[in-house]
Amino acid sequence: MKDPDQGSRPGRKAYGSAKSGVGLPLALVLGACAGTPLPPPPAPEPARVEASARGPSNAQLAGAALEGRVERLLRRMTLEEKAGQLAQYSQGVPTGPGTGREGHEEMARAGAVGAFLNVVGARETNRLQRIAVEQSRLQIPLLFGFDVIHGHRTLFPVPLAMASSFNPALVEQAMRLAGAEAAADGVRWVFSPMVDIARDARWGRIVEGSGEDPYLGAALAQAYVRGYQGPSLAEPSAVAASVKHFAAYGAAEAGRDYHAVDLSDVSLRQVYLRPYQAAVEAGAATVMTSFNTLNGVPATANPYLLTDILRKEWGFHGFVVSDWNAIQELVNHGTALSGAAAARQALAAGVEMDMEAHLYGPELPALVRAGKLSEAQVDEAVRRVLRVKFALGLFEKPYADETAVPTEVTPEKRALARRVAEESIVLLKNEGPVLPLGAAVRKVALVGPLADSGVDMMGPWAGRGDAREHVTLRAALERRLKGGLVYAKGTDFLSRSTQGFEEAVRAAASADVVIAALGEEAWSMTGEAASRTSLGLPGNQEQLLAALAATGKPLVVVLFNGHPLTLQGVQARAQAIVEAWYPGIEAGNALANLLWGDVNFSARLPVSLPRSVGQVPLYYNALGTGRPAGAADLTRPPSGTADKYISRYIDEQNTPLYPFGYGLSYTTFGFSAPTLSAKGLKAREVSRQGLEALRVTAEVRNTGPVEGTVVAQLYVRVRGASLAQPVRQLAGFARVRLAPGEAREVVFPLGFHELSFLNSRSERGVEPGTHYDVWVGDSSEAKAHVEFMME
């Protein structure tokens, strides 16, 4: 399969970009579902992530012909039928507290439901759809939604892992396949992507997003949307994306799920809203609200978010759905005294569909008749829901094909999943180097609770994945080593018993190399409702690691986890550390290819890994301080005033153990000092030029012995601005594949969106007299530097 890395074709410059390629042709994706080989993703274009929307954010939801169809149908609807279109109910396995309600067939027949979730499979979706389309008065089709987070049947690595690839084109390709599989299963609406910026490693749902950086998050948000929705929502394999959780859910206080968020408007807009806006500009059809309050106002009843920003500023034409039971939870938040009041608040703020609170259907007609809501408000909500149904082609083709077997996991799908995993697994340490493992390694001891757990390779939110189809590390190594593998589990996740240690130590002592597969149990320790106050290895895994290290054998730790973990103990004992996250269906095969050097590591961290949980929240793009640590030795407690009265801890360093953007390879890379296409810029011209005002060019060279791919990263700092700006911000990246000794220029275009910032009035712009520092390198600690002035 051809490598899609930017600039990988000989004789061409590599252009830094975060925009994914064009959507894959529909026939190719459907062919892959049936067994036809998948094509490589298209070459990414040098373009901006956040080009300003002009006109509707999704043209497919705003045409005159579509509006005519919507209005004609709306005029025929009773108030109860309108309320029904705004109600979503769960059938099957719930994804939140409660078990849903019964009587779904009668509701569909009466036009009292607009959408279902957790109804999956062509036969079952068609059964309910036939009732709605053939037996209801207005024959309005149902919309079926499902949590397709990182795959449907073919599970790819979890989103935090895919973010480690820094490869939006590959993520787009994976999500195009995920959407096609879901559509073939009767699901035309997926509750993804989750684009919440997360700076607190304690938050369990950090695993579902793209990490701590808004630029990377925006690039991947667009990739997900383009992958799911394809070039046209009307294509049978396209699914409507639901961007979640709007907004700032990842900033929950203390990293505790469902907790409150309190942010300045500048932080909200400059950091947290950027990926949502990018997703909307990419054409996302729907948006899901978050559970949290934002500055005291619940997101599910927040007109500033849902009306002022989403609709008026961004021009969003799709519909907004609540998260599970979130409208009823307005009573718990204290802003509503009853379910009826909660329904009124949510609809008035801009929530068009009620997921599983069971309030819109019974309450909205009564609220209108009592004069507490206008029917015009209800009509506008119904318009938005109907637009999406018309755009998806549900009125023309409401049924899924029951005769096909499109969700079979074919070899071609596995090949794509393996490739995504290979580009998502990060090499953190390689002392010796111990890796890659070569022919001299004849016997390997594999130890740990995650060495042979297919269900944990799936990660949280596993869609319709089957753990039995997931290749574990043990299974892959048994095939590769042909009798040269000895396995011992050693311990369980939360065990305090050392009963299995003796067997594990014997296995290690008999082997040439020890591989310890350690980490978190996917479903109980990561994802929703899985916040942690400690971020070390759970249970007695650290003790097991110490016992293995005491054998003196080379020790490779492979981590499977959803939280960024504190790895001081692992760092001290292991010669090599591999951050695998949860790699999906081809986990074991991808890891074996990387450990033996059949494939080179290329992934980079999308989050900072803390030394201690006391550093959290920890992120590279923080604001500066008037008393920076500077050259102080932070490895020691302060000994005098020179190193005491500065911004520091007295018992830990300020820096992360591993920084954002970091990752090792089996080769090394060097960067030249960057150069600029102009010595300076005029603020007025930057605003006019829009997409590109300046080019930053640097040469990157493979200085090591083997071919490899480097993620070249560009960072910017603005000084002298009217409002303090972060010490660094990612403003471009490019995957560049190089042969040994090969050099190539990487070019980063900078324009208004990379150079602008918010002032104290939340106005975005550039300011004369500001100074820009620019760095290019392979992590957020890049050293190669150039600077210029904005006149």
CA distance 262 to 268: 9
Please give the structure tokens belonging to residue 71: 């209005």
Is the peptide bond between 433 and the residue preceding it cis, with omega within 30 degrees of 0? Answer: yes
Residue 591 neighbours by CB distance under 10 Å: 28
Asked if residues 625 and 647 have their Cβ atoms less than 8 Å apart, the reply is yes
DSSP secondary structure of 108-130: HHHT--SEEES--SHHHHHHHHH
Roughly how many angstroms between the first and final C-alpha of the chain, as a whole number? 47
- The crossing angle, in degrees rounded to 10, of helices 168-184 and 26-34 is 60
Closest CA to 781 of 580, 604, 566, 535: 604
Token reading at 196: 């919440």
Give the distance between the most distant pair of CA atoms in the chain.
Answer: 82
Told to judge if 512 belongs to the known catalytic residues of this protein, a careful annotator would answer no
CA dihedral 212, 216, 222, 224 (to 10 degrees): -70
Contact present, 286 and 321 (Cβ < 8 Å): yes
Question: Residue 219: is the preceding peptide bond cis (ω within 30°)?
Answer: no
Instruction: Kindly state the helix (H) or strand (E) to which residue 675 belongs, with its residue range.
Output: strand 675-676
Take residue 547 and report the two structure tokens written for it: 């016992």
Query: Which residue of the set 5, 323, 452, 643 is catalytic?
Result: 323
Q: Which two tokens stand for residue 646?
A: 């500065």
Containing 447, the helix (H) or strand (E) segment is: strand 444-447
Q: How far apart are CA 731 and CA 196, in angstroms?
A: 19
DSSP 361-389: HHHHHHHHHTTSS-HHHHHHHHHHHHHHH
Instruction: Classify each residue of 488-514 as buried b or exposed e, where b means 16 or more C-beta atoms within 10 Å of its C-beta.
Output: bbbbebebeeeebbeebbebbeebebb
Q: Can you read off the two tokens belonging to residue 542?
A: 């650290």
CB atoms within 10 A of CB 137: 12
Q: Which residues are catalytic?
A: 323
